[in-house]
């Protein structure tokens, strides 16, 4: 068949038919010469540029968490070995002392009857932070979540490994300001992280780096 067409030839097609055929083959809503219609379609199909920097933000989150956790762990080991069972150490007169106690409740000694519940809450917070890290593109949020994660891990370690038993362990507290509850560095990290999150929320900054205005 191809050989026959080569010998016989094909009839000429008028220019008008060529233009109609070209126009029929062109995408709807676009000009044959690549006019504004075609450009608009390309703009609609153009993918958004990929966001970068998530890996660095996640690294910041876990670096802050590891630092806060290590600082809390080392401080508690020192307190248990050198301060527990001894008289409080005064740092700033009567305003600030180091006084080792065991706390079965939440931060600052609240809720001593709900040790297991606070343990489960701390574990849930850790899971939520790790899941949220997948959408993290904000440096301030990375620092805030890192503080929360490190503090939650610090107190959860006490809940699991200290007496009287697994998930019922008492947290080691030792920072005792005058007229205030005794707390530890993990509590401080949690409070600082929470305050930073509140400030970021007031500014309209989301964990994914977007800024919204209500």
Active site residues: 173, 187
Listed as own residue / partner, the contacts of 164-168 with beta carbons closer than 8 Å and 24 or more positions apart are 167/115, 167/116, 167/119, 168/104, 168/115, 168/116, 168/119
Q: Are the C-beta atoms of 183 and 171 separated by less than 8 Å? A: no
Strand, coil or helix: what is 150? helix
Residue 76: other Cβ atoms inside 10 A: 24
Strand, coil or helix: 163: coil
- Surface-to-core class of residue 110, CB atoms within 10 Å of its CB (0-12 exposed, 13-18 middle, 19+ buried): exposed
CB 92, CB 129: distance < 8 Å: no
């Amino acid at each position: 068949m191809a050989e026959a067409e080569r010998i016989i030839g094909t009839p000429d097609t008028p220019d008008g038919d060529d233009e109609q055929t070209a126009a029929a083959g062109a995408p709807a809503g676009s000009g044959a010469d690549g006019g504004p219609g075609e450009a608009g379609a390309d703009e609609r199909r153009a993918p958004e540029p990929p966001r970068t920097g998530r890996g660095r933000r996640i690294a910041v989150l876990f670096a802050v968490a590891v630092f806060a956790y290590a600082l809390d762990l080392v401080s508690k080991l020192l307190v248990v070995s050198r301060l527990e069972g001894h008289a409080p150490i005064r740092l700033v007169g009567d305003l600030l002392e180091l006084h080792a106690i065991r706390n079965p409740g939440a931060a600052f000694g609240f809720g001593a009857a709900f040790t297991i519940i606070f343990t489960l809450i701390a574990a849930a917070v850790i899971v939520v932070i790790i899941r949220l890290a997948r959408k993290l593109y904000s440096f301030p949020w990375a620092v805030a979540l890192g503080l929360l994660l490190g503090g939650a891990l610090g107190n959860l370690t006490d809940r699991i490994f200290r007496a009287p038993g697994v998930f019922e362990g008492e947290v080691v507290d030792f920072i005792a300001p005058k007229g205030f509850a005794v707390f530890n560095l993990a509590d401080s990290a949690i409070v600082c992280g929470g305050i930073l999150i509140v400030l970021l929320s007031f500014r309209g900054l989301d964990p994914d780096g977007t800024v919204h205005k209500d």
